[in-house]
Structure 1
Amino acid sequence: MPTCIRRQAEIAKAYKVLALRYHPDKNQDRIKDAEVGFKRISEAYSVLRDPQKRAEYDRTGGTRSYVSYDEAEQMWRQFAREGGQQVEEDATPNPEQNRRKVMAWLFVLGLLLLVAPNLLIQVLPGLTAAVIGIALLTRRENASKWAWCALALLLASYVAPWAWRVRSSFEPMQGAQLHGLGESDSSVPVGTPNSGEEVVLSDGQFLRVADPAHRNGPVSEGWQQRMLAEMTDAVKKGQEQVLMVFSREGCPWCQRQLPVLQAMIAKRAGLGGAADVEAQPAFLAPSPGTAAVGMAPPPMSLDSAPLRVFIFYAEEFPYVAQTFKVEAFPTHIAWGPPGVPPLAAQGFLDEQNLEQLLHEVAVAEPQEEPSQTG
């Protein structure tokens, strides 16, 4: 290729990159400066590609303006038509575009590193919304209102179910049965399970007991059935309050929930100290005048009885999680006196909400079975 032709191609390529970068349509936030820069770029291109204008520029030093803004816009459109409508920005983006792309990739990589592989499907809608949002922000001058509406709908479809699941209200689980639980979970291999009852020791330390038959040793075949039988027996006796907590691998809110559960277990076991008694919520405090001097104290209610917390990992108890229709983690199912339907709460619960959940189901009255008339 002759030198002059190669040089003209390089000039056209440079003009294409700069004109796209500084075109007023792509710089709505600083349109006045963009118009001036775009006109100067077009003027330089007009002079460089025309030998007569270039010679005049060399003689006079560019003392006059060679193109107006309208002429610059017309020249750009003509250039685009001659390029077959394939005018795209050069592969070398400006520093701002580089920064945005790097931030986008760091965001995606950080999100993938924070979540476990088995959670990838759960966060896929949010990840898609984030990628679309970043793409719209990097090219917001060309993004239509329909694209923004689509992003808003995608975010709403992802956030709305999450917000519904972490609602603070407690729902009764009518018809919840303990009979037959775990009979389909025997296929889970024996190893070092994550599930188990959270037990507080006399020194205040906590121990996760998965197999009641081997409290201080490794579990053996059938540990799921024995753990469920232990919990079922405690629910039926009604002398201790039982709380089921469903968790799973890689759940950050489940990890935050564990200290709250342990504090409640210790408090019910009398290891919380006087400070906990003083901080007792108002809805748990006895009404004034309920106990007269010299009278025997009333029997201990279930909401002040010891609390037994059984943690079930969905990977180890899939049938149990399916039976209770667990959709969010953590999910709490609190049991009250025999005959009272359990209450369920989804999402993280702080100490006050957890105490309220346990109290509401503990003081509930058993439902009377409808009498059968002949």
Structure 2
Amino acid sequence: MITPKQAAMLLFVFLTGSSIINIPAPLIAISDNEAWICLLAAAGLGMLLLIPLVSLARRFPDMDFIEYSAKLTTRPVAVVLGVLLLTMQLEIIAGIIMDISMFLKSSMMRNTPYGYFTVLTSLAVALTARVGIGRFAGMFGVLMMSVMLFVVFNISLASPGFHLPYLLPILDQGVKPIWHGIYFIYGFPYGELVVFCMILPYVRTMAKERIGSKMALAVALNAASLLVVTMATVLTFGPLSGERKYSMFEVARTVYITELFERLEALMGYSMIVASFMKASIALFSAHLTLNSLLRLPRDNRQLIFPLAFLTTLISLSVGIRGEAYWNFMVSSIHPLWVFTCSTVPLLVVYAASLVRRRAA
């Protein structure tokens, strides 16, 4: 079991994870200087998504998503919704593993085969998920503090190179880029928080503790973090921001203060790898809970973690060999639709069923 504070911390880690490094460049390429508007709007949608998530967890404190879906609808419907959720969880894990591998190969070790990074990352994620949520919840807090410390340190040293005129103009292409940006960033990362419907049964809540407010604070802190790194990217690169993949890594390359602080991209590389690894571990733990519930196995059964990790490794290898261009298309166009269809819609369907049942009662 974990406390509400640990659950909120895991939510912050999950939302911030790989997004703090990967979000700025594609979001700016889609919505130009209106990226901050898209961030705030998508974060608001994430806040609204917490309402059904927390409400169902409070009404059925000892049940996961599959169990209370079967109670509110029928078992076949719950199985269909659970399979949809599982496909999204597996896609998230495989995508994160691909992202780490592509980053290491393209930015650090270009002569190393892609498969080495994929296999080793999958093994580390599987071993972490297998130790249980009670153990990695305590470890991830310390790791995330180091990641955020390095991000703040990097932005502070890069601030002398900021150019305020890069923030203009605003809305020079109408509102279509804003809608496109909201669509993109809702799918990654805010729509993904539905995976916590499988983790919330592990939260031990006291009578006066409000897990909803703590999770809302985690979403707000994540939005603030993404807003800061996005603005730092725009202020540094201006019109070229959308072309800078792994933008905070590129911002770190611009830092030069005499000969004392320079070549800080290694710190941002560490931040990107560690943050993505933590998010993949949480997603894998949630995926194995989903599969256990679908097969009606005990929650503490961990025999399926390594088969799931092997499956995500195969997906990462098969998709990753198609190249970064194909993967970028998947993330920006297919992934948001996948998240909405396989996580948001099932959650809203079950929440609507609970409202109907409560009104009928």
Determine if the TM-score, normalized by the shorter chain, exceeds 0.5.
no
Output the TM-score relative to the length of structure 2: 0.23
Structure with a larger share of its residues in helix: 2
- Does 1 or 2 have the higher relative contact order (CA < 8 Å, sep 6+)? 2
Instruction: Give TM-score, length-normalised by structure 1.
Output: 0.23
Higher strand share: 1
